[in-house]
Structure 1
Amino acid sequence: MLRILFISFIVLSGYNSFANADTIAIKKHLKNITKTASYRNYENLKQLNAIANYIKSDFSKYSSNVSFQEYKVDGKIYKNVICSFGPEKGQRIIIGAHYDVCGDQEGADDNASGVVGLLELAQQLKGQKLNKRIDLIAYTLEEPPYFRTEHMGSYIHAKHLKDNKIDVLGMISIEMIGYFSDKANSQEYPLAAMAKVYGNKGDYITLVSTQEKGKFVKEFSDHFKQSKSIKTEEFNAPASLPGIDFSDHLNYWNFGYSAMMITDTSFYRNKNYHKKTDKMETLDIARMAKVIDGIYLALLKLTK
């Protein structure tokens, strides 16, 4: 009876501390994003826009504040998709993931996994009373040939924040969160000595930032680890270390924001990276769901 009363209190108060990302929904989203008529790269604009529309439609189930941020590259219109929760004028936390792929491949881990993370977070955040604004953003044009250029969707968004003097607490890039392995020697590193610290199994998620990570990154990382949703390691290293800045968070660093990446370490673990074998069938859906739960619980700590 006490347990029933406690759960009732949680539901009525709108505070879901028992996060539980929906693995069935995760599989559905992965299928809808990756098993498409053509590949969602910059050359297939029709397919890219179809995925943007899919993301916007799903976001709209959970928030009334959903929009496209459109911009032009080489005469074509590309779109970021933005979904907001919390006070309109509140200090913002940015959670982003890119929905485009590199070349002709499905891109399940890179980066449908991150986009599905955004969609699940939207479902979890619906109805929550927040004291800060959370913007979930699905970026376009993260992949080559636009990586590290001003045409990246995340560059466009970060510049908009800076130009408009919008108060941003920090940013999180969700970049490949679905591939795990319990096999020995399944995890590689940019420096061989790191294996002695972190082990040789790809059985954890990483929180990645520079050594000058800032207050937001420290607080989010502490809350994520305290959630104990999944085995977690932190990588705080110079941006020059290969892989540290290989995602959308780099543009927020460039504009002076505290930012980080959550990742399964990409090509240091997942050998399907940027290959046709990067398919949803290779992903660990259960552990992917636990990563999403950890993000959600950490965000609640930061916004309650």
Structure 2
Amino acid sequence: MTAMPGRSHRGLLPDLTTDQRVVSQTLARHVGVLARDIGDRNVWRLSRLALAARYIADSVTDLGYKPQRQRYETMGIPVENLEIEIPGTSKPGEIVVVGAHYDSVRGCPGANDNASGVAALLELARALKDFQPSRTLRFVAFVNEEPPFCFTREMGSDQYAARSRARGERVVAMLSLETIGYYSAGKGSQRYPMPFDLFYPSAGDFIAVVGNLRSRGLVRRSVGTFRQAVRFPCEGVAAPGYLPGIFWSDQWAFWRRGYRAAMVTDTAPFRYPYYHTEEDTAEKIDYDRLARVVTGLEAIVRDLASA
């Protein structure tokens, strides 16, 4: 399904608002700490992985949240997901999860993949700290999204989704913030797996919302809300979950537990030339565009949590 509500913005972007300029600077600071100061962070660089988790926990604690840890072992090594929650006021049993993985692929500083997603997660937590949602809202930083743990039970999001299912939790929507900071207006800068090249722009200047067919309602609602909230290009697709690129992040874990979930992404390897390399560094990120994306994401989260 490629038809989405509203129209994707085309043409010049409006100037940043005063708030967006502050957000741009905050996003750059978060990415700088994770990708430059900490860098390569995974079970092969365990002390750095722990530093990243501590930075995330300290950041949300400073906002007034009380982070909860979901600890488990992978290869005999203790690792953890981090979660904060805003309880729902009228529908607390319905849960909206917004997640981003904080590990990086081995040997990579992981600025776009995925310090950009974590930075957006932290900024959303800040923007929504006084929000009173109808539904319970959770922000989760996942460990072990990268190889060799992706699409296994050692993936942090799979541990989390499995626990949610075992508890009988009603997760009504999940958004995975995955590699969201690189944009190019150049013709031919965007690639696609077949047959999506027949339907979408050749310039990689947009943010995408991607889901499986069961999650098409979530994808359409998210794209429609984004397009109304901010003048920034946004595309959406709901397609069979086995297609290349459709399942490549933490939404996969929620799909296999029967939950509706979507990935928000700049499309990663289909656009970003530094994907999974040592050159995935902080200066590659377009923080002003990322700030605009965060504006749209905030609108999506508010809408989903207020339904």
TM-score using structure 1 length: 0.89
Per-residue displacement from partner, 1:165-207 (whole Å, max 9, x unpaired)? Answer: 012111010001100001111000101x533421210010101
Amino acid at match of 2:44: E
Q: Provide closer, same or farther for how the CA distance between residues 234 and 37 of structure 1 changes in structure 2, counting only shifts above 3 A.
A: closer
Deviation of residue 214 (structure 1)?
Answer: 4.9
Shifted more, 211-220 versus 49-58: the winner is 211-220
Q: Which runs of 5+ in 1 are unaligned?
A: 1-17
Structure-2 residue corresponding to 1:45: 46
Q: How far apart are residue 229 of structure 1 and its match?
A: 4.2
Match of 2:33 in 1: 32
How far apart are residue 302 of structure 1 and its match?
2.6
Compared CA separation, residues 27 and 37, structure 1 to 2 (3 A): closer
Secondary structure of the corresponding residue to residue 55 of structure 2: helix
Other-structure match for 1:171: 174
Tell me which amino acid in the other structure corresponds to 1:183.
G
1:145 maps onto 2:159 in alignment? no
**Letter in structure 1 aligned against 2:97:** I
Paired residue for 1:133? 136
1:123 and 1:276 mapped to 2: Cα distance? 30
Partner of 1:204: 206
* 8 Å contact from structure 1 (residues 67, 83) kept in 2: yes
Aligned length: 286
Cα distance in structure 2, aligned partners of 1:164 and 1:55: 26
Checking the alignment, whether the CA contact within 8 Å between 1:208 and 1:261 is kept in structure 2 is yes
Alpha-carbon displacement from aligned partner over 1:33-64 (angstroms, at most 9, x marks no partner): 01135520221111101100100110112243
In structure 2, what is the Cα distance between the partners aligned to 1:94 and 1:302? 10
Among candidates 101, 105, 108, match of residue 102 of structure 1: 105
The offset of 1:114, in angstroms, is 0.4
Distance in 2, matches of 1:130 and 1:240, equals 33
Aligned residue identity for 2:214? E
Q: Cα–Cα, structure 1 residues 233 and 82, in superposed 2: closer, same or farther, change >3 Å?
A: same
Structure 2 matches for 1:177-188, cutoff 5 A?
Answer: 177-188=180-191
**Greater RCO, CA 8 A, separation 6+:** 2
Separation (CA, whole Å) in 2 of partners of 1:64 and 1:171:
20
Secondary structure at 1:115 match in 2: helix
Q: State the one-letter code of the partner of 2:272.
A: N
Aligned to 1:254: 256
Query: 1-side partners of 2:125 and 2:231: how far apart?
Result: 18
Matched, 1:62 2:75: no
Residues 127-157 of structure 1 show CA distances to partners (whole Å, capped at 9, x for unaligned) of 1121111111110000011111100000000
Would the alpha carbon gap of residues 234 and 142 (structure 1) be closer, same or farther in structure 2, given more than 3 Å must change?
same
Given that 2:96 and 2:305 are in contact with CA atoms closer than 8 Å, whether structure 1 keeps it comes out as no
Mapped contact 2:184–2:203 kept (Cα < 8 A): yes
Cα 1:298–1:53, aligned 2, differ >3 Å: closer, same or farther? same
Deviation at 1:223, TM superposition (A): 1.6
